[in-house]
Structure 1
Amino acid sequence: MRRYIFILLMGFALLPAITFGQTYLRGNIFIYTNDTPVPGASVTNLTTGKVIQASSSGSYVIEAKNRDIVVFSFTGLTSDTVKVEEQLLKTGYDVGLTADPHTLRNVTVTSNYQLDSLERREQYGKYFEKGPGITGGNRPTDGFGISISPISHFSKKSREQRKFRKKLIKNEKEAYIDYVFSPIRVSRLTGLKGDSLSRFLYQYRPSYQLARSLDHTNMTTYINDRYKEFIRPKQ
């Protein structure tokens, strides 16, 4: 009995030594304005290069130590950066992200691209439709020729609307690529993590045309083929 107690006490004594140096920063990531969780948000420890994604509920756990720099990011939201302190390792760090005014993306984040896209279309629908063009929607009453409306076409408001529409369409395309070529999917197929995953995503990110042309099976093949190329020894 004494021997059993001695072994048990030794185990407890050695436990701190085993876990020494392994500390973690944890918390929840949400949208600051409405407390909506941000599933799949990227959490990057710039000091170590480690990258993880938040869970479906927006929670995260990443290995970090005092003075490490950690960045929290998600497409369409302004990134947040924190310098880790000892106190944060004990209490945790909840992150409230805000909408990025430069991306003009919908601030309602879900894990479903189709729902996000429908919401963007509903909110900005008039900008997705092509405007009246240079005629301003005007035609002569006899039905022949066109009536030029430079005031409506070249006005500041029309120029801003066309610029806004182009940005919306671009963001819609980027959101689709993020959906079919997501870090979670690529990591699951390749096993890549951290800096290697980030480099792979940057190096082999498909164009919108390519992403649209590949179905689920072919996109899987594309990722696997690029992974073989990625790990192939350099000549």
Structure 2
Amino acid sequence: MKRLITGILFLFCCCSLLAVKVQAQVTVTGTIMDKENKLVLPYASVTNKSTGRRSYSDKGGFYKISASPKDVIVFSFLGYKSDSLVVIQASGTETRNVSLVVEARQLHGVNVGAQYSPYQADSISRREQFGYILDKKDMPLAGGNTPVGAGIVFSPFTRYSRKEKQKREFKKIFAKAEQERYIDSRYTAAFVSKVTSLKGDSLQLFMRDNHPDHNMLRTMPQEDLIYWITDKYKAWKKN
């Protein structure tokens, strides 16, 4: 009888400890991005140093990983300095956005003269800063032209490797960000307000509802952009 009671107490203690451990689980989540240019970092490595568990951010830079209080989470991405955080919460979801810094490297120091617009100068500077990623060629499929099922050998240097995915997605995000910056450099609130006389919330609503296409702006002279904004404003005002 005494052994039975001891066994029950031991089992009860184990279950209690297990329940505490389960309750102590925390879901750490957030986004990972470049600190200076605010570009999201896809396929960034997220490692729980305390448990060895690893996950990766998605194409939008969003990550999620399980942890316990005081666990150390390490974040790393190709060409960036790794960063870490300590889990604070005891349970539930802990949101921690992470900003990584580009590793120090010797830049060429491009001489940007007065012949460049502010957008062009910034674009040249950004292109130089991220050249170490953008200039790397995309690796071919493993096995070259070998047909599928004919003994393809996968290596860590193929397009399916984590670093290759990081690089490819970063190039897409960088290109998209450059397009948006070009649009913002020409389709400014001050310029649109001058054409339409809109201000405040009305101006913001108009610009949100009438967002020009990058390719269109690239070939559109400033005079034609004024006509485009005027036509959009007349239609917007009617509605």
TM range, normalised to the smaller chain? 0.3 to 0.5
Larger Rg computed on CA atoms: 2
